[in-house]
Amino acid sequence: MLRTKPWTPYLYLAPVSLLMLFVFGYPLAAIFDFSMRRIRGASGPFIGLENYRQIFKDDVFQQAILHNAQLLLAVPILVLVGIVLAVLLYERVAGWRVYRTILFAPFIIAIPVIGVVFSNMLSLNGAVNELLRAIGLGFLALDWLGSAQMALWSVMAIIIWHEMGFGVVLFLARLLSLNEEIQEAARIDGAGWWQRLWYVTIPQLKDVTEFYAVVSVITMLAWVFPFVYVMTRGGPGNATQVMELYIFNFAFRNSLPGIASAVAVILFLITLALMIPLFQLRARAEMEGIE
């Protein structure tokens, strides 16, 4: 048998590890470094935690965090709607493949296109309100994107509409891979539709649900910029200001990449803080399953 030195495997891994370190590690280290400098152009003087101090006393940043937190309310909605629609499709109602395509379609439409279309539809005199007025529901015709009370909810609804298709396809794929005998057995035992859904189907979707929830949390924290930018620019006032837009404004408009980096670090840490317990829960569940 050929004997190798203990460090030989590491040698084989070294090129890829170095590449990974460069691709992922360097930008991360650079952002941490930038966050403690007053960057003008490509670099700037070290100013310690001054950028962080500026951020935390800025009420626009506080509003941005609050709005991102509010958008997290969409996560359970996305999971719930995704599961329900996937289960309905799984029942193989007539034309279910067409419905699946229709439900998935929003997910593949470019976000700027969605933004422009919905901006027009949801303006005070847009198609949605015109329709409401035409059917005698004029009292429901609100300034969906122009009112501070409604704007963030409207943006959230559009994000849900866009992201929902991904969840449906994900859950449906998992359902189609399940052993149908379990469903059949439950049916023979007299379990109704709701009972089968609650006690048989949903427990088997646990892994996918966790994955989708994690992806949705990341979406709501760090992937809503194009929606907000195209539809409201963070307005009216700061009613739809979110952390990504705050980063964009500081990095590309206010010419203060140092502050933008500090917010990026905070966003990274918040996301990490939310992800770690989720992965720990999953690891514990897997261990329990093994035992």
Partner 1 sequence: MSEKVLRISRRDFIKLAAASAAAAGVYYWPGSHPFAARAAGEKLRMWWWGEQEAPGLEKWVKDSVAIFEKETGVTIEVTLQDTTTVISEFQTASAAGNAPDIQFLWNGIYHMESVWLGYLEPLNGLISDELLKEADATVLSIYQGKQYRLGWYACSLIWLYNKEMFDKAGLNADQPPTTWEGLLDACDKLKSKGFTPIVGGLKDGPWGEWYMGHALGPNLDTPAEALKLFIGELDWREPRYYEHWTKLEQLWKAGYMNEDMNSIDLYPGMDYFGAGKGAMTAIVVPTLGKQAGMLGAEKVGLMVFPAGGKGKMNNKPIRDLQGLGISSQSQHKEIAAKFLESLHTPERVQAIWTDSKALPTDASWDGNKIEDPLFREAWKNWVANPDSVPYISNLMPVMFWTDAMFVNAQKIVAGEYNGEQAGENAQAVATKWREQNPDLLEKYQIWANDLAL
| 255 belongs to the binding site for partner 1 (CB under 8 A) | yes
Selected from 1, 5, 23, 41, the binder of partner 1 by CB under 8 A is 41
Output 54 or 271, the one with its CB closest to partner 1.
Answer: 54
Q: Does 106 bind partner 1 (CB under 8 A)?
A: no
Under rule CB under 8 A, residue 254 binds partner 1: yes
Residue 214 near residue 220, CB atoms below 8 Å: no
| Min CB(124)–partner 1 separation in Å | 4
Closest distance of CB 225 from partner 1, Å:
13
CA distance 238 to 274: 25
Residue 24: its H or E element: none
Give the one residue of 148, 173, 218, 281 binding partner 1; rule: CB under 8 A.
148
User: Among 40, 69, 101, 130, which residue sits at the site for partner 1 (rule: CB under 8 A)?
Assistant: 40
Burial class of residue 174 in the structure, from the number of CB atoms within 10 Å of its CB (0-12 exposed, 13-18 middle, 19+ buried): buried
One-letter amino acid at 151 equals A
State the residue for tokens 């590491």: 10
Could you say whether residue 261 binds partner 1 (CB under 8 A)? no
Q: Does 133 bind partner 1 (CB under 8 A)?
A: no
Name the token pair of 153: 């909810």
Q: What's the number of CA atoms in the CB half-sphere (13 Å) around residue 39?
A: 23
Instruction: Tell me how far, at minimum, the Cβ of 125 lies from partner 1, in Å.
Output: 5
Whole-number Å distance between alpha carbons of 264 and 85: 35
Taking CB under 8 A as the binding criterion, the range among 163-171, 185-193, 203-211, 232-240 that sits at the site for partner 1 is 232-240
Token readout for 60 is: 């626009």
Residue where the block lists tokens 């909810």? 153
- Interface residues with partner 1 (CB under 8 A) are 38, 40-42, 54, 58, 60, 119, 122-126, 143-148, 232-238, 249, 251-256, 259
